[in-house]
Structure 1
Amino acid sequence: MTSTVPAPSTHPQARNSVRAGETPLAERSALQAVLLDMDGTLVDTEGFWWDAEVAVFADLGHVLDESWREVVVGGPMTRSAGYLIEATGADITLPEITVLLNDRFEARIDHGVPLMPGAARLLAELAAHSMPTALVSASHRRIIDRVLESLGPDKFTLTVAGDEVTRTKPHPDPYLHAAMRLGAAPVQCAVIEDTATGVAAAEAAGCRVVAVPSVAPIAPAFGRVVVGSLEEVDLAFLGTLITGMH
């Protein structure tokens, strides 16, 4: 799948640190890089975001409908917060609610975040094999840096935050940006995502996708495999996802 989009942002805060002794791309298998979402994929925080949204809007005098949760999950804060402002009629601006939500979420993860089953093992395996690995999230940089304290910043060659690209998920820009920075072809990148929004972004970039649904179901499709948890995913599995398409 191809997609014509504006050139990805080269925001100065985007992190990139290639590990010493890394095997050149040409000497590896068809899998050139692994790109992973954060919330709900590597860390069990999708519920934390919803709790933060419920609490912040409660402070403003509004009750959120549980059915809205599937609408806002996995997307950029501008979209989810904007939707909730419109749905509730809350008298607050988008910049104001963004600060409140980030503050509430950051307080919630103050003592660390729980990793999803299989996440630590998978990240350790990718690092042990010097596989270029990027964390690609719609969350803001301030949140990513806090979560990295639990995940281990050394596990990632590159991290991309939602406020570091011109257009974040569901647009392909974050994944195109990550692939470009890693020197990898998107079609030879495996992406691991937990929401339809993230899957749409990865597939629009031309990447192969492993979906690990968190809040809402995701159907299998061409170039996409759906699994129950990261316990089912390892480097060999990701490699077959790429080679199986050729």
Structure 2
Amino acid sequence: MTSTVPALGTRTAEGPALEAVLLDMDGTLVDTEGFWWDVEVEVFAGLGHTLDDAWRHVVVGGPMSRSAGFLIDATGADITLAELAVLLNEGFEDRIDRTLPLMPGAARLLAELSAHGVPTALVSASHRRVIDRVLTSLGPQYFALTVAGDEVARTKPHPEPYLLAASGLGADPARCAVVEDTATGVAAAEAAGCHVVAVPSVAPIDPATRRTVVTSLEEVTLAFLHGLMTEMR
């Protein structure tokens, strides 16, 4: 059978159009953005505070330090950032131990990238302890490297995580496709100079230059990614 997917080494005059694919985790590959909010609501209820549902869009997709810090300031809860981080991670881990739903198309996309030898990295604002837990279900074999939010000096929306991932794969950020679900992650990827495929999970994301918006990972194939990068060039 002849594959319709261009070879990874397909080149333009300047080099390969697609050198690597960098993927967010929560809300992109695994359906867990709601888990984080549920845990935050539960933890703050235990502290005697009710979270305003409007805050959900403020904390989604960002590093725990920012999200937790915002909620402490907004509620006036008597808890330190470090103490809250422990409670949130423990609550989240308890939920993913019970169930970890993959986003539609996630398993197929990872298998396709692997089958064609595309360098792939997982880039998340979640802590290492959470990423390693999720990887047991996602499949660590699908990722050449992973970047955790507590392993970088500046996490999303700063470009450092995506620049680190591209460097680790030996790829030019401008020739990397990033798949993200939140505005925070999109901002990080774009600041790194990557082409972004946005699959909004909680809040809408508008198309823009070097940013393509789709409704589901079911639309994202290797041929689709090659096409985007070729058109961009």
**TM category, shorter:** over 0.9
Matched, 1:87 2:64: no
**TM-aligned CA deviation for residue 245 of structure 1:** 1.3
Matched, 1:182 2:169: yes
Provide the secondary structure at the position in 2 that maps to 1:244. helix
Letter in 2 for 1:202: A
Match of 1:53 among 36, 40, 62: 40
Matched, 1:161 2:148: yes
Deviation readout 1:58-77 (Å, 9 max, x if unpaired): 00000000000000000000
Letter in 1 for 2:140: P
Please give the alpha-carbon distance, in whole angstroms, between the structure 1 residues aligned to 2:34 and 2:175. Answer: 32
Provide the secondary structure at the position in 1 that maps to 2:177. strand
**TM-aligned CA deviation for residue 29 of structure 1:** 4.0
Say whether the 8 Å CA contact 1:179–1:189 is kept in structure 2: yes
Letter in 2 for 1:215: V
Deviation readout 1:201-226 (Å, 9 max, x if unpaired): 00000000000000000000000000
Please give the alpha-carbon distance, in whole angstroms, between the structure 2 residues aligned to 1:91 and 1:240. Answer: 51
Say whether the 8 Å CA contact 2:21–2:178 is kept in structure 1: yes
Matched, 1:173 2:160: yes
Provide the secondary structure at the position in 1 that maps to 2:232. coil
Taking structure 2 as the reference length, the TM-score comes to 0.94
Corresponding residue for 1:193? Answer: 180
Say whether the 8 Å CA contact 1:112–1:149 is kept in structure 2: no
Provide the secondary structure at the position in 1 that maps to 2:21. strand
1:26/1:177 CA distance change after superposition, 3 Å: farther
Corresponding residue for 1:203? Answer: 190
Say whether the 8 Å CA contact 2:16–2:175 is kept in structure 1: no
Please give the alpha-carbon distance, in whole angstroms, between the structure 1 residues aligned to 2:226 and 2:128. Answer: 30
1:209/1:24 CA distance change after superposition, 3 Å: closer
Say whether the 8 Å CA contact 1:186–1:205 is kept in structure 2: yes
Corresponding residue for 1:42? Answer: 29
The answer for unaligned runs of 5 or more in structure 2 is 1-6
Percentage of matched positions with identical amino acids: 75
- The count of aligned residue pairs is 224
Corresponding residue for 2:126? Answer: 139
RMSD between superposed Cα atoms in Å: 1.4
Please give the alpha-carbon distance, in whole angstroms, between the structure 1 residues aligned to 2:121 and 2:103. Answer: 17
The answer for unaligned runs of 5 or more in structure 1 is 1-22
Please give the alpha-carbon distance, in whole angstroms, between the structure 2 residues aligned to 1:73 and 1:57. Answer: 16
Letter in 2 for 1:121: R
**TM-aligned CA deviation for residue 112 of structure 1:** 3.9
Matched, 1:109 2:116: no
Corresponding residue for 2:225? Answer: 238
